[in-house]
Structure 1
């Protein structure tokens, strides 16, 4: 793929400088972008002065507003008012996507009752079950399985090795990365009598007597409902609901290795980063950000626009708009004060020891 600097700038809604006819055939880090040749060249992502230090004269670059391309000897430049947003548009323009040939591969196994929309591309060894409906423009990579009665909207992109179980409903433009699993059974079990877990919840830790217990599965009859423009990362897992469906709102992005338990409801435009775990029946509002390794306890509610810092552990309800951090998670400013106080503890312990020595000497003299 090749576009000119001028075309790329218009596509990104950004200002350009220099020779706008130069062809752009890709993107690179500043140190990897050489001078532009006869057939064009790659454009360097140098959107801050510290990144521009390694630019070579004669190359093309995306710069932040206020940077002077002549300082770096560039032939052409695009100015980014919001660098990461421009980067999103640039990477989208040059991303070829997975190599999935148009049409249906002869090794794919597709039930007679399944319906594949116009323009679908189905890769090798794909298995599509009974009564599945897949919208137009879908691309399904090798070794994907889609279970009975599931529904995928238009322009779905399912990467190789993903697993979509029966009874999953998804809107348009779903992206599922390799190895993700959507619609597996929830982790829900019960014992004939009160379990140890139920006991310590009731008693807050004390045990009246430890008995043998055997777990009986509670089967998952609900499905998974996913909105439009949702992305699910590699090896992420979303469990189906017990009776009602687990729900993921439109625009939500789920990172790799995220675990979403049964009956969870996640709102729109949320961002769940790597290794987040959301336990069963919790409800997460709209535009919530859970940073890496955040844990959410079961049966709690997180309000709209909450931001949880990395490795936070959320055990109680969080009001809308709050920024939280820590284990257990509290307001970020409170957690910062706790951390400051913790760092002062050794000095405080030393001061207390000296005071004890002083008091002891005074008592001995008295």
Structure 2
């Protein structure tokens, strides 16, 4: 990159991401961490503890809040770009100027090793990597990128601008929306975990014949598995973000803009409302429903539904305030038990006298 801070301001001022520009206007050549910056760099500062780095190392531009900018003051050669939400600025400026170019491939646009069924119409701007397999009736939107060894089974669809990293599998009939990112090794539309037993407890597979629908702008991390529905659809709402190595069971519905962190496992027919956040190793029993704007913490285990927004933690999940009180008591349980036994003995002695 080779941009002036004034150009960055003009590009992002209209959407309210960068609301002010003051100071110098020296060229920016890279985006760097504030701890390791130098002239020519753009850095993000969302905490006053980094002010010393800026003053000592003098990057070309600092994206920061109005309050921190006031503390920094004028520094010779340093531009200040004011951002009400520095973290959002990190996301959008890095996407614009410092992201991986997934279209910069060393391979031909359609690699000769790809196996593409004759019924598939490949858009002129699609990239098809080595070893890709596209089944009958697959639909590809414009600008899709399918990296090495992606498999898209029959009648599945991939929306415009979606990127499937190496080794992803999209099962038959599943629907991937626009601008979706599936990271390496994702499996979308595997058969769900459903079995019946006879009187001798032998297991019999229940075929899962539904599908998975992934909404627009969803990001799903590496080696995450989303099971197809028994009937109907497993649904991942638009804008949801799912971390690596999660498991989404059959007929689960995840609302818009949810965040699921690593190793979360949702049993069949779980329903998450909008903007639910599940921290690492959250788990649910089947048929649990979670209201909008719930935050699940500390390996939350959900045995029952949560009907009110708020923060919940532990297993079984409880309101965070109660959880913290109970956790504070836990290290003292042995001492309390010992004292209780002493009191019981004294009471028994009194009863005998």
Q: Scaled by the length of structure 1, what TM-score is found? A: 0.86
Query: Secondary structure in 2 aligned to 1:23?
Result: coil
1:317 equivalent in alignment to 2:323: no
Query: Secondary structure in 2 aligned to 1:124?
Result: coil
1:240 equivalent in alignment to 2:240: no
Counterpart for residue 27 of structure 1: 31
Which of residues 13, 22, 27 is equivalent to 1:17?
22
**Does structure 2 retain, via aligned residues, the 8 Å contact 1:57–1:73?**
no
Counterpart for residue 184 of structure 1: 190
Q: Scaled by the length of structure 2, what TM-score is found? A: 0.90
> Could you give the per-residue CA deviations for residues 139-174 of structure 1, whole angstroms, max 9, x where no partner exists?
111111111110111111111121111111122111
Counterpart for residue 2 of structure 1: 2
1:70 CA drift (Å): 4.4
Distance 1:141 1:343, change over 3 A: same
Aligned residues: 341
After superposition, residues 1-366 of structure 1 pair within 5 angstroms as 1-13=1-13, 14=18, 15-20=20-25, 22-34=26-38, 36=39, 41-55=40-54, 56-60=56-60, 61-67=62-68, 68-70=71-73, 75-93=78-96, 94-98=98-102, 99-100=104-105, 103-193=109-199, 212-356=200-344, 358-359=346-347, 366=353
1:362 CA drift (Å): 5.2
1:53 CA drift (Å): 3.0
**Does structure 2 retain, via aligned residues, the 8 Å contact 1:29–1:46?**
no
Structure 1 stretch 272-281 or stretch 339-348: which is displaced more? 339-348
Structure 2, unaligned runs of 5 or more: none
1:58 CA drift (Å): 3.0
1:92 CA drift (Å): 0.8
**Does structure 2 retain, via aligned residues, the 8 Å contact 1:102–1:119?**
no
> Could you give the per-residue CA deviations for residues 290-345 of structure 1, whole angstroms, max 9, x where no partner exists?
11110011122122222111300001111041321111001112212222332342
Q: Distance in 2 between matches of 1:332 and 1:107?
A: 54
1:356 CA drift (Å): 4.3
Distance 1:114 1:18, change over 3 A: same
> Could you give the per-residue CA deviations for residues 209-235 of structure 1, whole angstroms, max 9, x where no partner exists?
xxx422111111111111111111111
Distance 1:353 1:53, change over 3 A: farther
Runs of 4+ in 1 over 4 A off after TM superposition: 70-74, 356-364
> Could you give the per-residue CA deviations for residues 38-62 of structure 1, whole angstroms, max 9, x where no partner exists?
xxx2212232122333333332322
Q: Distance in 2 between matches of 1:299 and 1:341?
A: 32
Distance 1:345 1:165, change over 3 A: same
Query: Secondary structure in 2 aligned to 1:349?
Result: helix
Q: Distance in 2 between matches of 1:77 and 1:107?
A: 50
Q: Distance in 1 between matches of 2:153 and 2:21?
A: 49
